[in-house]
Amino acid sequence: MPANAAAVPGDPQHPVMVEPVRGSDIPVQLMYVEMIDGVYVPIGLRTPPGPGPFPLVLFAYGNGGGGMTVVREFTQNVSFTQEQFLRAGYAVACCATAPRSIMPMTRSAS
């Protein structure tokens, strides 16, 4: 765990780690989320101040490689757009892949 990160107490089957984001007052909650097909995808979730609920903008990034490292690097190094959405009252999430669980289903020509 990075020195500036902290584990969030809660459900031991769904651990969450909170990490500060450079240049922002809004940290990222790092976790693994189970998709509809049973695959766990690394997600970084950030929410604006306040009780919510919030609309969500999802940034699907990468090709499935790199795991949580990709989510952390994306959040730390490419967060300008996330900050704009957060200021406008949206929650933002970054996942390290575009799993078929969130991609539109297409029918192959036969």
Q: What are the tens digits of pLDDT across the range 85-108?
A: 999 999 999 987 654 545 554 555
Collect all residues with Cβ–Cβ distance below 8 Å to 11 and sequence separation of at least 6: none
Q: Is the pLDDT of residue 5 over 90?
A: no
Question: pLDDT per residue over 14-44, tens digit each?
Answer: 788 999 999 999 999 999 888 788 888 899 9
Which whole-number Å values give the CA distances from 98 to 15, 56, 60, 62, 95, in the listed order?
22, 16, 5, 7, 7
DSSP label at 27? -
Query: pTM of this prediction?
Result: 0.76
